[in-house]
Amino acid sequence: MTQRGKSGGGSGNSGDGGGGRRQQTVRVKTAHKRSLSSTLWLQRQLNDPYVAEAKRLGYRSRAAFKLVQLDEKFKLLGPGKRVVDLGAAPGGWTQVAIARVGSDKGRGRVVGLDILPMEPIPGADLIQADFLAPDAPDQLRALLGGGADVVMSDMAAPTTGHAKTDHLRVIALAETALMFALEVLEPGGAFVAKVFQGGSEKDLLDPLKKHFAIVRHAKPSASRADSSEMYVVATGFRRAD
């Protein structure tokens, strides 16, 4: 599977994506050699308040707001915490994490990985590698230099258009991320992973409930309304007896 990263950059400032400002709807005409689907995508981008707000704040894409909103709801990040970001490209969640744990001030630590190349992010250690490669977890552990307080995964395989297949593929990535999290998380730590609507499969939920005090599903308002993505958020990590 190929992991795809998410978003964001700039500062750790939060935002509601709309900033309370009304936007005038922009309509895009279908140009020569541009498909209808491309035209509709462009029109959606131009009229998306999160896209405008991301640009205003310096985030690399709108998806940075997903972590902002998850953190505000579940209190995942904080000064001095150590964070692993799986599926990090192009770096939005990484930059939000840096701003909130203070890794650029020598306190917290943020390590990110993606199969796609990423521009350097001050304060973060980044790896371009396939998370499913046998040596990838060891590379992350070496950079982390100890345990982690948060493991978060926005990894997703390229969609096939077949809902059940896409669901199973993203669950498989989440299960692999969880296996890594169980090895590196400190007691009380948190795990966040992308899943698709339909919830998490039993093979993912059972170990989550065994190892974490609280397990919940959430769909940030920054997730597109027509998207089936949501996140499983597990807090209060405890090692099995």
DSSP-assigned beta bridge partners for residue 231: 194, 218
Q: Binding site annotation covers 138?
A: no
Cα–Cα distance measured from residue 92 to residue 48, given in angstroms and rounded to the nearest whole number: 17
Instruction: Supply the residues annotated as catalytic.
Output: 194
Do residues 97 and 149 make contact, with C-beta atoms less than 8 angstroms apart?
Answer: no
Q: Binding site annotation covers 16?
A: no
How many CA atoms are closer than 13 Å to the CA of 173, on its beta-carbon side?
29
DSSP 107-156: SSEEEEEESS-----TTEEEEES-TTSTTHHHHHHHHHTS-EEEEEE---
Q: Binding site annotation covers 104?
A: no
Classify the C-alpha dihedral 89-67-111-87 as positive or negative: negative
Q: Binding site annotation covers 114?
A: yes
DSSP 191-208: EEEEEETT---HHHHHHH
Do residues 170 and 137 make contact, with C-beta atoms less than 8 angstroms apart?
Answer: no
Q: Binding site annotation covers 154?
A: yes
Q: Which residues are annotated as a binding site for S-adenosyl-L-methionine?
A: 91, 93, 114, 130, 154
